[in-house]
Amino acid sequence: MAKMELDEAAAQKAQERKERKAAEKAAKAAKKAAKAQQGGGGSGGKGGKKKETGLGLSVKKQEDFGDWYSEVVTKAEMISYYEISGCYILRPWAYEIWQSIQEWFDAEIKKMGVRNAYFPMFVPESALTKEKDHVEGFAPEVAWVTKSGESDLDQPIAVRPTSETVMYPFYADWIRSHRDLPLKLNQWCNVVRWEFKHPTPFIRSREFLWQEGHTAFATKEEADKEVMDILGLYSQVYEDLLAVPVMRGVKSEKEKFAGGLYTTTVEGFVPATGRGIQGGTSHCLGQNFAKMFGIEYEDTDKARKMVWQNSWGITTRTIGVMIMIHGDDKGLVLPPRVAPTQVVLIPIPNSKMDEAARQKMAEVAADMERDLKAAGVRMHLDNRELYTPGWKYSHWELKGVPLRIELGPKDLEKGTVVVARRDTGKKSFVEWGEAVAFVQQELGTMQKEMLARARQEFNDCIVKTTKWEDFVPALDAKKMVLAPWCEETEVEEEVKARSVTPLGAGAKTLCIPFEQPEMPEGTKCFASGKPAKRWTLWGRSY
């Protein structure tokens, strides 16, 4: 492969300088929070005067989204910055969310007959360059290993940006007959894409975690069906697990997977930034890779035929989208289905309580912890004595725990607890014997309401127009645009160039939605005036 151009190297260094500054700023904020934690600072001092907890965010989401996001992911203990630009340490609070997604999705694809495997992360140069369109699509992002110790390798080895070229030579060996089909494999792994765009934790990193499914079928009909089945699962990951609305559609020819036949996608949108974000893609590869790698089978009539292939993947980007959509000025707001801890129980003793009352409070808390865990609720009893209740409230709010249960002296007298929701702040007074049932119901209600609010906001961010004059103003107002399009690549490129403004980059096609509004006969493309084919969703994007 050719060496990196000088302008690309300069761009990379500039981006790395930016990220180092962001990392330094986030690290200082994290150290400040840790120092405050060690000091046990809290809120609710004498006379109602509020003390500094050291946990709060220093910027608001709507005022400086970039700094807000950097603070949230570090202060909420989601990530730590690493010494290599674009690479991040996923701390348990983030990794456990990924595990929730992984466990759900893995169970669903196994119902479809998909089996897990693992392939090496290194790709021979000869294999990677075998499929021309494919390698051109990934070439700028490929990281290469060229030395072993002080010795140059005979052939450069790529670190996988994706695994088609690793897996398919073996598919050609394994598939001989129609009896070997369908072949459905998936792997959970990491990939490396050495991007030059500004790295953002979870959203755009140089190493990330994902699953990649690679399947082979005898017929296109089978492949087409699986593409849509998988896309449906991706939609469920976002909407049912993460409470994030997405739009399903197909990518344009320009935006489809390099070397594939067509690409379907679930597209999200971040209202705070006015930018769309690709959530997950399910590709029909057609027979192109089969031809390149000689993946053939003998049919029942003894004829040799090429297989039809799919590939599909979803990544840890899911976590970043969830943070951006639901987070607020206090920190994370986690949907109950993926929250590592769904409920935190905080006993609130005071100096006026005698030892018997304190013992009673501890027993009630322990009983409630036992009952909630027995009911399958992921809960944590925070009975640490070195931290004030105010500090604990701030700590768990920052981490986005869906429900907080407060057990104070008055609650002890009344036989009740206070249950507070993280998303709305709503507080309910619940009797001890009803706490488990109430918590279970409230978690389900919160999950549904978070999705409903996010969906309303998503829909409110779509502007439907048939005129170019409305297009750029809508983008500058942080909206997506649904407009009739002629589906010509040249027009798509012109739109991107013409829509650049001081407020943002040019727009691209996000997807051609499967659910199409009615298009009156004779409708023209909003950008070219040529006959329109379908309504297309446009927007600025990550």
At residue 460, the pLDDT reads: 98
**Any alpha helices (H) in 461-488, and if so which ranges?**
468-476
At residue 128, the pLDDT reads: 81
Half-sphere exposure of 257 (CA within 13 A, CB side): 25
The predicted model scores a pTM of 0.89
Distance CA 401, CA 365 (A): 18
**Tens of pLDDT, residues 308-339:** 999 999 999 999 999 999 999 999 999 999 99
- 66 secondary structure, DSSP code: H
In the block, tokens 């129980």 appear at 345
Distance CA 340, CA 354 (A): 35
Contact at 8 Å (CB) between 379 and 342? yes
Token representation of residue 169: 């030579």
17 pLDDT above the threshold of 80: no
Distance CA 295, CA 297 (A): 7
By DSSP bridging, strand 379-381 and strand 343-347 are: parallel
Distance CA 50, CA 469 (A): 51
Token representation of residue 523: 């409708």
Distance CA 400, CA 392 (A): 12
Band of residue 125 on the pLDDT scale cut at 50, 70, 90: confident
Distance CA 104, CA 106 (A): 6
Distance CA 47, CA 194 (A): 55
Give, for 315, the enclosing helix (H) or strand (E).
strand 308-315
SS in 3 state form for 233-296? HHHHHHHHHCCCCCEEEECCCCCCCCCCCEEEEEEEEECCCCEEEEEEEEEEEECHHHHHHCCE
Maximum CA pair distance of the chain?
A: 88
Q: Which 3 state secondary structure label does DSSP give 77?
A: coil
**Tens of pLDDT, residues 268-310:** 999 999 999 999 999 999 999 999 999 999 999 999 999 999 9
At residue 139, the pLDDT reads: 77
* Residue 317 burial (CB count, 10 A): 22
50 pLDDT above the threshold of 60: no
